[in-house]
Amino acid sequence: MNRAPAAPLDTVADLMALLADCHDAWDMPDRSGDPVDILDHDRQCAELLRRDHPADAELQVAGLVHDIGHKLVPGDDAGHGEHGAAAVRGLLGDRVARLVELHVVAKRYLAATDSAHAAALSEFSRRTLVAQGGPMTAAEIAAFEHDPDFAAAIALRRADDAGKVVGLPVRPLDFWLPVIERVAATR
């Protein structure tokens, strides 16, 4: 399913409103996907990245916005990374947008190269992996390993897969406002 991309986000206020709208919004319209809503999942992901990569604000913000494509174009799991990247590129810069897009690519990479990671994927992630292209081929693996954002994309993917804990306490969305503003100001 390849749908038209969502309109770009023009301001940090627009992004914050979209993120707030992700409360009680789900990666699949019928709620058959992850066990937490998009906002909770994205905040968990950002928290994990803040803990593990405290000096990389762009990576943390990418974690916070990586699944907004589900809200922007509901039901397009295969394209949600591209939709989210297109929406934030002008506001948050190329690196954040690339990481949002690459979090799906990194899933395909890990499915092909890390059997323990692949086995630990949620049932929903295993189902959507097929729609997203399945595990990478050897040629795709070699190309992705040379991508300048490879390590950050893998970190984002690992946080993405770990950030699906029902009831996990995370910081409120407003905590992230100054971080988003700094990233937007330096794009």
pLDDT digits (tens, 9 = 90+) for 67-101: 999 999 988 888 999 999 999 999 999 999 999 99
**Predicted pLDDT of residue 122:** 79
Is-contact 104 119, C-beta < 8 A?
A: no
Taking CA 150 as the corner, what is the angle to CA 64 and CA 124, rounded to the nearest 5 degrees?
55
Residue 170 has pLDDT above 80, yes or no: yes
Residue 31 has pLDDT above 80, yes or no: no
Distances (CA, A) of 124 to 32, 35, 116, 161, 164: 7, 10, 17, 11, 11
pLDDT digits (tens, 9 = 90+) for 122-143: 787 888 898 889 999 999 999 9
**Predicted pLDDT of residue 181:** 98
- pTM for the structure as a whole: 0.93
Q: How confident is the model at residue 4 (pLDDT cuts 50, 70, 90)?
A: low
**Predicted pLDDT of residue 125:** 82
Residue 167 has pLDDT above 60, yes or no: yes
Residue 104 has pLDDT above 80, yes or no: yes
Residue 159 has pLDDT above 80, yes or no: yes
Nearest 10 degrees: Cα torsion 61, 37, 175, 121 = -50
Q: How confident is the model at residue 33 (pLDDT cuts 50, 70, 90)?
A: confident
